[in-house]
Every structure is written in C-alpha cells, then in structure tokens.
C-alpha cells in the first residue's frame, strides 16, 4: 500500500454523481398540499388528470385565467370533481376507508370519478379490478375502469414537482382582497409569536400614533404672515437651514420671522387690572399686575369674566400662611387655564411674596399654572421663583381676616365652614384696550399702504366692542385725507 493514496480525493461532491445521475434540485410537495397555493386543502377537488386543488382557490383562478394552474391547459369549473377523503378516528390523517391504511408520500392513491371517494390503489385492485366488480366500495354505485383517477403514484412523482408548475414558471397569482387588506397590518408578517409578544403588541397598538406623527412631520409648516407689528428684526433661518441640510426645501429669500400674537398684544398692556371677588365672607378688591405678568393676569381676568370661579370654594386654608381656591372640583387637583392647557411661570424680581394679601398662582411644579390661586396671610418669600405673583389685595382686608379666622381640619387643611366665591366683577380689563390699540395700528397701516389683506388674519381676533373704535377711526381718517375708508368695512370682528 503506497503513500499518498488519497491525495486526489476531492473535498466536495460532483454535480454529476455516479452513473451520470444528476443531484436532485427540484422541490416536491405531498398530496395534502394542493397545487395552486401550496397550502393544505379544505375543500378538495381534482381534474381528470388527478391534479388536486382547493375549491376556494381554483374558482377565482378559473374566472381570471380559465386555465389549469399546473399545466397551463384550458380548464372549466364544471369539469372539476369533488373528492371525499376519509380520516382516521383522530381526525388528523387521511386514510383508505376500506383498508384503513394511512396515506403517506409513498402511498398509491386513486379516486372514483363517479362518486369522488378516495381509496388506496390496493383496495381498488383487489376488490374491484381483480373481481371485475366495478361498484364503489362505499356507495355501491357502478363505474368503469376509465373512471379510476390516479391521484398519487409513488413511481411517478413528476406532477408533484413545484418547479414545473405553469403558474410558478410564469409567476401568476390571484390576489385575494381580504389577504391584500390584511397585509397592510404589520402583524400579518409575524409568523409565530408567543403570548407575551402578542399582549405587548396589543398594548402598543392601542396608543400607537406613529402614522399621524409621521404625517405631521412630513407636512411643511406654513409660514406665518407678518406685518408691521409682528415682524421680527431677525429672519426665519430657512435660507441657512436649507443650505446646510438636504432635508429642507431650498430657500433663497430671507424672510422676517413672525413674533407670537401674545407678545405683540402684551406690548400694549401698560395698565393694572382690577377685579372684585364677591364671597360669602365679604368682598375682596384685587389689583392685577397685568403690565408685569401679562399671561397670568389675562388668565385670571378671562376666567373671572366667563364666570369660571362663580360658586367655587376655597378648599385649603392655613392660618398665618395662605388660603387657596380656584378649583371647580373643590379637591385641589382640578381646574384648567383659560386656554385649556398649563402656561409658563412669569417670575419678576420686583414681585415677591412679601406682606399680607399677595395674590399668586398655585401649581404642581414648574410651568404648570392653570386656574388655582392663593392669597397670603403673611410674608412667605421662600415661595419666590416657585409661584408667579400676579396681584395683591387693595381693599377688603377685613374679609381676608374673616376668612383666616375660619377653622380648618388639621389633617386636610380644608375649612370646616364653607368659604365660597359667589361671583367676580372685572372693573378694568387692560387687555381689551391693548386689543383695540393693535387693531387700530393694523388699520392705520393698511390704510396708509393700501394693503387690506394684511389685516384679515388679525383683526377678527378683536372683541365685538372694538368695531366702534374702527368706525370712529375711519371717519377721522376720511376727514383728514378726504377719501372713503372702505377698506375697513370688511374687518367686522367675529369674536
């Protein structure tokens, strides 16, 4: 035995095996998998050639193509033969109803064209062909030898070769509307998931808003119109952003950024606001620092004018500290701002919780101001920069003393006897005057520049009473310039 006897052995198999027999590359299916969608059938039918289909899949195919999906030949629905497969006692496997042999991939299976009953070839050969008694083994109906259809022959499995199917070669399919609709759901593509995954996905889909958020981000924000009042001295930055980012739409013109409407309005608020709270203990006259903290002042003024505080109670009172109210629920957890959402804190160095009768906003943390407020019984400067001071008491200190003298529950700090706000009266509202000045400024600017369109978006936000100011101004300008101020008549406020 010489050396190097295995040096020519190959470390791989030849494509052509011994005897010039090629390695098998085809894919075969079993009888339970029908030929069209390659899925187990529920309502089996077959052709005269013994090709099995499912009724729910072959009928739409015939309506669309009119051919046999396996061979490509012409096929009609009336030529299909309904098959009756028998199952064993467990109801899991097909078997011969005569010999009770379970059908496998190596079983020789035939069907009776007349009755559609499916048997093993051995049973038909022994009990029908050899005895020359051509009667169905279950129903005893007569048939001929030509009525025997071969469904599966273990010696000839070419018809089960998927790669030779006509619809596979030509990539033909019938789209199911229900299936196409189900494909839109990402869960359709999840083959197998455990219980925990399904529960997690179910919770996610309840609050899922990804599509809405994506759609909102894809929309290009409309540029806010600017005029003489709300035009900033700086640009929107779109030119530089589009130059440095490919995600931005190219822009070549610098545009002035628009200042928020509230900031424009608050520039004209130069006065204090005055409100009287009518309580069951007496009246409280309040001075509001609208010129210093305009957001908190407007919130309190608007809520008083709409009757939001009417009938509410002071739910918390601590002697030598403060009394708190403004919650319609009376629990200390409710209430909303005039705009329906919390607004930011407004801290000013010259506004402090110093002295008796300071009016301040109650909150649950930074920038969570809503409708609740409190009035101090004595100085508490440690609350500075934690709560927004927006007013003070200028009359009715005897009422405040009466409210402080009401005993409270030591556990909940809730007054034992009810302290209620009956109503609120607004004497001075500086925001109406500010709106009037904004409206007049816009009208004058439009009149002098003949740009009526510039005030359409802003004037209709004024209150109805401002219409009188506009009419008076138009008559004054007509007398000065000798022209008819018709451009103002379309500005009738709708608020």
Q: Looking at 162-171, 236-245, 326-335, 484-493, which range is the least confident one? A: 484-493
Contact 84, 63 (CB under 8 A): no
- Compute the average pLDDT of residues 473-477: 54
Report the C-alpha gap between 177 and 167 in whole angstroms. Answer: 19
Question: Does 365 lie in the same domain as 398?
Answer: yes
Contact 301, 295 (CB under 8 A): no
**pLDDT above 90: percentage of residues in the chain:** 45
Q: What is the pLDDT of residue 235?
A: 76
Question: Does 280 lie in the same domain as 391?
Answer: yes
Q: Is residue 26 part of a domain?
A: no
Q: Which domain holds residue 238?
A: 223-258
| Residue where one domain finishes, among candidates 177, 198, 232 | 177
Q: Is residue 323 part of a domain?
A: yes
Question: Does 64 lie in the same domain as 163?
Answer: yes
Report the C-alpha gap between 86 and 119 in whole angstroms. Answer: 9
Q: Is residue 217 part of a domain?
A: no
Question: Does 229 lie in the same domain as 160?
Answer: no
Q: What is the pLDDT of residues 396-449, one digit of tens each?
A: 999 999 999 999 999 999 999 999 999 999 999 999 888 888 777 776 666 556
pLDDT above 70: residue 41:
yes
Q: Is residue 239 part of a domain?
A: yes
Question: Does 439 lie in the same domain as 377?
Answer: no
Q: Is residue 8 part of a domain?
A: no
Count Cα atoms within 13 angstroms, Cβ side, for 458: 29
Q: What is the pLDDT of residues 92-146, one digit of tens each?
A: 778 899 999 888 888 899 999 999 999 999 999 999 999 999 999 999 999 999 9
- Compute the average pLDDT of residues 167-191: 74
Report the C-alpha gap between 121 and 97 in whole angstroms. Answer: 12
Question: Does 408 lie in the same domain as 331?
Answer: yes
Res. 367 pLDDT band, cuts 50 70 90: very high
pLDDT above 80: residue 51:
yes
**Burial state string for 19-32 with b = 16 or more CB within 10 A and e = fewer than 16:** eeeeeeeeeebebe
Contact 276, 283 (CB under 8 A): yes
Q: How far from the centroid of its chain's Cα atoms is residue 376's Cα? A: 45
Please indicate whether residue 61 or residue 353 has the higher confidence score (pLDDT): 353
| Residue where one domain finishes, among candidates 428, 456, 477 | 428
Question: Does 144 lie in the same domain as 278?
Answer: no
DSSP characters for 29-64? --TTB-TTTSSB-SSEEE-TT--EEEHHHHHHHHHH
Q: What is the pLDDT of residue 477?
A: 53
Report the C-alpha gap between 80 and 256 in whole angstroms. Answer: 76
pLDDT above 50: residue 17:
no
How many domains does the chain divide into?
4
| Residue where one domain finishes, among candidates 207, 231, 258 | 258
Q: Is residue 398 part of a domain?
A: yes
CA distances (Å), origin 445, targets 265, 453, 459, 482: 16, 11, 12, 17
Question: Does 475 lie in the same domain as 400?
Answer: no
Alpha helices, H only, 165-257:
166-169, 177-183, 195-206, 210-218, 238-244
Question: Does 297 lie in the same domain as 158?
Answer: no
Q: How far from the centroid of its chain's Cα atoms is residue 109's Cα? A: 55
Res. 228 pLDDT band, cuts 50 70 90: low
Dihedral of the alpha carbons of 460, 488, 298, 229, in degrees to the nearest 10: 100
Report the C-alpha gap between 474 and 440 in whole angstroms. Answer: 10
Positive or negative, the CA dihedral 13, 17, 22, 24 is negative
**CATH code, domain with 162:** 3.30.40.10
Report the C-alpha gap between 115 and 118 in whole angstroms. Answer: 9
**CATH code, domain with 391:** 2.40.100.10
Count Cα atoms within 13 angstroms, Cβ side, for 161: 11
As annotated, the active-site residues are: 316, 321, 324, 363, 374, 383, 387
CB atoms within 10 A of CB 107: 20
Strand order in the sheet with 81-82: 52-54, 44-46, 81-82
Q: Is residue 352 part of a domain?
A: yes
Q: How far from the centroid of its chain's Cα atoms is residue 412's Cα? A: 41
Q: Is residue 2 part of a domain?
A: no
Report the C-alpha gap between 99 and 473 in whole angstroms. Answer: 107
Question: Does 281 lie in the same domain as 252?
Answer: no
Please indicate whether residue 367 or residue 487 has the higher confidence score (pLDDT): 367
Question: Does 366 lie in the same domain as 350?
Answer: yes
Q: Quote the tokens at residue 95.
A: 């078997």
CA triplet 151, 117, 49: central angle to 5 degrees?
Answer: 30
Dihedral of the alpha carbons of 301, 306, 308, 312, in degrees to the nearest 10: 90
Q: What is the pLDDT of residue 491?
A: 43
Question: Does 460 lie in the same domain as 418?
Answer: no
Report the C-alpha gap between 266 and 26 in whole angstroms. Answer: 80
Res. 348 pLDDT band, cuts 50 70 90: very high
pLDDT above 80: residue 158:
no
Contact 410, 257 (CB under 8 A): no
Q: Quote the tokens at residue 52.
A: 């099995």
């Amino acid at each position: 035995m010489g050396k190097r006897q295995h040096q020519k052995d190959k470390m791989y198999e030849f494509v052509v095996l011994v005897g010039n027999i090629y390695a098998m590359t085809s894919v075969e299916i079993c009888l339970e998998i029908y030929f069209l969608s390659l899925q187990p059938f529920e309502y089996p039918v077959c052709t005269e050639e013994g090709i099995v289909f499912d009724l729910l899949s072959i009928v739409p195919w015939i309506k669309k193509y009119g051919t046999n999906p396996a061979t490509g030949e012409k096929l009609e629905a009336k030529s299909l033969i309904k098959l009756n497969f028998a199952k064993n006692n467990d109801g899991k496997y097909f078997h011969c109803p005569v010999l009770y042999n379970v059908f496998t991939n190596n079983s020789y299976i035939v069907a009776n064209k007349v009755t559609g009953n499916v048997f093993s070839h051995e049973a038909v050969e022994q009990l029908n062909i050899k005895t020359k008694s051509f009667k169905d083994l279950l129903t005893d109906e007569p048939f001929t030898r030509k009525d025997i259809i071969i469904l599966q022959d273990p010696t000839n499995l070419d018809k089960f070769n998927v790669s030779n199917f006509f619809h596979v070669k030509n990539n033909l399919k019938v789209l199911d509307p229900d299936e196409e609709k189900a494909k839109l759901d990402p869960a359709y593509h999840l083959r197998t998931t455990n219980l925990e995954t399904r529960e997690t996905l179910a919770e996610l889909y309840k609050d899922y808003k990804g599509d809405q958020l994506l759609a909102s981000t894809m929309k290009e924000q409309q540029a806010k119109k600017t005029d003489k009042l709300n035009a900033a001295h700086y640009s929107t930055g779109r030119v530089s952003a589009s130059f440095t980012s490919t995600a931005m739409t190219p822009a070549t013109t610098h545009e002035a950024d628009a200042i928020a409407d509230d900031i424009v309005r608050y520039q004209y608020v130069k006065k204090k606001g005055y409100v009287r709270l009518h309580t069951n203990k007496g009246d409280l006259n309040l001075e509001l620092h609208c010129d210093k903290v305009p957001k908190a002042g407007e919130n309190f003024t608007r809520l008083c004018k709409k009757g939001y505080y009417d009938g509410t109670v002071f739910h918390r009172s601590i002697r030598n500290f403060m009394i708190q109210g403004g919650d319609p629920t009376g629990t200390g957890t409710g209430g909303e701002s005039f705009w329906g959402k919390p607004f930011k804190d407004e801290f000013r160095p010259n506004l402090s919780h110093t002295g008796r009768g300071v009016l301040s906003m109650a909150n649950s943390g930074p920038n969570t101001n809503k409708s609740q407020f409190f009035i101090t019984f004595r100085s508490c400067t440690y609350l500075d920069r934690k709560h927004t001071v927006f007013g003070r008491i200028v009359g009715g200190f005897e009422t405040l003393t009466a409210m402080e003298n009401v005993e409270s529950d030591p556990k909940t700090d809730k007054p034992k006897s009810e302290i209620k706000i009956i109503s609120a009266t607004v004497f001075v509202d500086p925001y109406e005057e500010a709106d009037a000045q904004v409206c007049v400024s816009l009208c004058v600017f439009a009149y002098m520049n003949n740009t009526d369109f510039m005030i359409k978006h802003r004037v209709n936000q004024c209150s109805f009473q401002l219409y009188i100011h506009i009419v008076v101004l138009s008559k004054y300008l007509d007398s000065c310039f000798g022209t008819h101020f018709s451009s103002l008549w379309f500005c009738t406020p709708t608020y």
